Amino acid sequence: MTEAAEILLVDDDVLIQLMVEDVVTQLGHRFTCAGDGASAREALTAGHFDLVILDRRLPDTDGLLLAQAIQAEAKSPFIVLSSLGSPDDQVLGLGLGALDYICKPVEPAVLRARIERHVAVRRAPSDEAIVAVGSRLRLNVLTRRLSVAGRTEVLSPAETRLLVCLIRALGQPLDRAGMSMAICGREWVYGDRTVDVLVSRLRRRLRGSKCGIVTVHGIGYILTEDEPAD
């Protein structure tokens, strides 16, 4: 039997607390709840969590302001569960290190699937922890450290998922729908610029590597072993 994960919910909505607790306990994991930022910090200081589910509209803070503490101090992965669901909000959350950005309202079955997936990914065997393109770049998926052009870049979780996706499809174009599902676990919709923003960031990360991400008009993007002229 798989060992139970420790999951922390940071949300002051009682109905959300009850729903998430039900989902988490049905999955066989242990549930802890904090209703505000101060309580969340206390919980994160007291113990380690395999996953943090974070609301943004907390009584004392924007939940995203906890992101740095969650990653730097507690070293726990987190997903956002929020009613603030604009593309800009989602890009902000993913850019600050969220594994996922789930918009309220959410069906319990959908939340269950997301939690199950993220916990499983964290516990996946590490024999595929390193992905690389020859000697040009080397990515440690677990630490999110990218060795490229003689330097080390620390990627966000979303950037890591995108680069893994591109490396595994090296030389083959990927469409935005598939990339969105791989990065965020959701269908791509017209006007959603999450993929484009993350591609732009990765292009800067890859400078000097001779690898490049090329736009395939009308489709999406492709990772090549030759740095594009443009």
Is residue 230 assigned to a domain?
no
* Tally of domains in the chain: 2
Q: Token pair for residue 191?
A: 């006007």
Which is it for the CA torsion 144, 147, 148, 149, positive or negative? positive
Rounded distance, CA 108 to CA 105, Å?
10
The CATH number covering residue 27 comes to 3.40.50.2300
The answer to whether residue 99 is domain-embedded is yes
Tell me: do 91 and 133 sit in the same domain: no
User: Is residue 1 domain-resident?
Assistant: no
pTM tops 0.75: no
| Beta bridge pairs of residue 130 | 140
Cβ neighbours of residue 60 under 8 Å, at least 6 residues apart? 36, 37, 38
Distance CA 157, CA 100 (A): 9
Q: What are phi and psi of 213, to 5 degrees?
A: -105, 115
For the stretch 104-119, pLDDT in tens is: 999 999 899 888 878 8
| Chosen domain end from 90, 122, 154 | 122
User: For the chain, what percent of residues have pLDDT higher than 70?
Assistant: 91
Six-digit token string for 66:
């906890």
The predicted pLDDT at position 209 comes to 84
Structural domain includes residue 229 = no
A 10 A CB-CB count for 110 gives 14
Output the six-digit token pair for 30.
Answer: 């242990």
- Please give the average per-residue pLDDT across 166-187, as a whole number: 81
Q: Taking residues 140-159, what's their average pLDDT?
A: 86
Of 122, 151, 179, the position where a domain reaches its end is: 122
Please tell me whether residues 117 and 160 are part of one structural domain.
no
Domain boundary among 102, 122, 142: 122
The residue type at 99: L
> How high does pLDDT run on average in the chain?
85
135 plus 104 within the same structural domain: no
> 62 lies in which domain range?
6-122
**pLDDT tens, residue by residue, 75-110:** 788 899 999 988 888 888 887 888 888 999 999 998
Residue 32 has pLDDT above 90, yes or no: yes
Rg (CA), the chain: 18
Residue 74, pLDDT > 70, answer no
Residue 214 to residue 99: CA distance in whole angstroms: 25
pLDDT at 25 over 70: yes
Written as one string, the DSSP assignment of the chain is: -PPPPEEEEE---HHHHHHHHHHHHHTT-EEEEESSHHHHHHHHHH---SEEEE-SB-SSSBGGGGHHHHHHTS---EEEEES--SHHHHHHHHHTT-S-EEESS--HHHHHHHHHHHHHHHTS-GGG-EEEETTTEEEETTTTEEEETTEEEE--HHHHHHHHHHHHTTTS-EEHHHHHHHHHSS---TT--HHHHHHHHHHHHTTTSS-EEEEETTTEEEEESS----
For residue 39, what pLDDT is reported? 94
Rounded Cα gap, residues 88 and 91, in angstroms? 5
196 versus 187: which is more confidently predicted?
Answer: 196
Same domain, 10 and 115: yes
pLDDT grade for 54, boundaries at 50, 70 and 90: very high
pLDDT of the residue at 193: 80
Confidence of residue 122 (pLDDT cuts 50, 70, 90): low
Average pLDDT over residues 8-20: 96
Residue 72 lies in a domain: yes
- Report pLDDT for 73: 65
